[in-house]
Chain A
Amino acid sequence: QKEVEQNSGPLSVPEGAIASLNCTYSDRGSQSFFWYRQYSGKSPELIMSIYSNGDKEDGRFTAQLNKASQYVSLLIRDSQPSDSATYLCAVKGSSASKIIFGSGTRLSIRP
């Protein structure tokens, strides 16, 4: 079992719609959860972090965390073509401070 799992996609969403990205993790004691965006040929950049159960909103982005289900999601409202990228879920484990990434979900926003 991979430590952090994501569907690789591609996920195709019409412009203006809501994009929903999901991630599961295996370490039940994980404390910190992150979503990074990576454009093709570029390095990852942090877009959201979440540490406690529930929702966290930042502009068009909402991160959701459910520790009981070991599940993290990212919602992107009013999707724009500029949101087309690979979205990486990352988890900071309990026993160490290393940060583990999933394989990423490729998102495509179609006009």
Chain B
Amino acid sequence: DTGVSQDPRHKITKRGQNVTFRCDPISEHNRLYWYRQTLGQGPEFLTYFQNEAQLEKSRLLSDRFSAERPKGSFSTLEIQRTEQGDSAMYLCASSLTSVNTGELFFGEGSRLTVL
């Protein structure tokens, strides 16, 4: 059983560069979520997909952030023109659709450091 995997685990970049993170969810899970977490805070919702459809994107998310899930399997999160405030842990989680569940399975995260 391979859980949620994220790549890369760590990324150091210079301000202004673009970065892309990949998430491979648990194979039978049709929902995929992206969160951002900074030290001492809970995960902040960014966006989520059901299959290949992006159902919601946080209003707090600037246009520099974009996410895709082209075939309803893996997903990518791209940050363009990175800023120091983008430094955080980017968490991906997956789940099964059901009326009354929201049981998320998280990957180990991708830590971004913007210099």
**B-binding residues in A (CB < 8 A):** 4, 6, 8, 31-32, 34, 36, 42-46, 49, 51, 88, 90, 92, 96-104
The distance in angstroms between the C-alpha atoms of A67 and B102, with both chains bound, is: 18
Inter-chain contact B107/A43, CB cutoff 8 Å:
yes
Interface 9-mer from B14-22, B39-47, B68-76, B77-85 = B39-47
Which B residues are CB-close (under 8 A) to A97?
Answer: 31, 48, 50, 55-56, 102
Inter-chain contact A98/B101, CB cutoff 8 Å:
no
Task: Give A92's nearest chain B residue, CB to CB.
Answer: B102
**A-binding residues in B (CB < 8 A):** 31, 33, 35, 40-45, 48, 50, 55-56, 91, 100-109
Inter-chain contact B41/A46, CB cutoff 8 Å:
no
Residue among B40, B101, B104 with the highest chain A CB neighbour number at 10 A: B104
Inter-chain contact A43/B106, CB cutoff 8 Å:
yes
Summed over the interface, the residue pairs from A and B with CB atoms below 8 Å come to a total of 62
CB distance from B67 to the nearest CB of A (A): 13
Given A49-B101, A99-B33, A103-B41, output 13 extra A-B contacts at Cβ < 8 Å.
A4-B42, A6-B42, A43-B108, A44-B91, A46-B103, A49-B102, A49-B103, A96-B55, A97-B50, A97-B102, A99-B102, A104-B41, A104-B42
Which A residues are CB-close (under 8 A) to B101?
Answer: 32, 49
Which A residues are CB-close (under 8 A) to B35?
Answer: 101
Which B residues are CB-close (under 8 A) to A49?
Answer: 101-103
CB distance from A102 to the nearest CB of B (A): 5
Which B residues are CB-close (under 8 A) to A4?
Answer: 42
Inter-chain contact B103/A44, CB cutoff 8 Å:
no
Of the candidates A32, A45, A100, the one whose C-beta lies within 8 Å of that of B45 is A100
Residue among A43, A98, A99, A104 with the highest chain B CB neighbour number at 10 A: A43
Which A residues are CB-close (under 8 A) to B108?
Answer: 42-43
CB distance from B40 to the nearest CB of A (A): 7
The distance in angstroms between the C-alpha atoms of A101 and B45, with both chains bound, is: 8
Task: Give A99's nearest chain B residue, CB to CB.
Answer: B102
The distance in angstroms between the C-alpha atoms of A102 and B48, with both chains bound, is: 18
CB distance from A56 to the nearest CB of B (A): 13
The distance in angstroms between the C-alpha atoms of A77 and B100, with both chains bound, is: 27
